[in-house]
A = this chain, B = another copy of it.
Amino acid sequence: MIGYIAGTLTTIAFAPQLLKALKTKSTKDVSLLMLICSTSGMALWLVHGYLIHDNALVIANFISVSLAFSLLVYKMKNEY
């Protein structure tokens, strides 16, 4: 049970960050390296989940990598 709550919280954590970025149109203080580490790490968790046939890992990381990648693209478009 604690694991499910933990998983939900860490999976959706980037949602408020993405909404904030879209609202303020500012991502200056958000670290590019943090987004690169998060996106690539979550993508690898997804691959790992697929390889070990763990649907929970695949679904959770599909959501979180989508949020993190959107934020990364938005920051790149916004600043570079």
Task: Enumerate chain A interface residues (CB-CB to B < 8 A).
Answer: 2-3, 5-17, 19-21, 24, 26-31, 33-34, 37-38, 40-45, 47-48, 51-52
Given contacts A29-B21, A30-B30, contact A2 B44 (CB under 8 A): yes
Residues of B near A29 (CB, < 8 A) are 20-21, 24, 26-30
Q: Is the CB of A3 within 8 A of B37?
A: no
Given contacts A24-B29, A30-B17, A30-B29, contact A6 B51 (CB under 8 A): no
Given contacts A3-B45, A17-B31, contact A10 B24 (CB under 8 A): no
CA gap between A68 and B37 in the complex, in Å = 14
A31 to chain B, nearest CB (A): 4
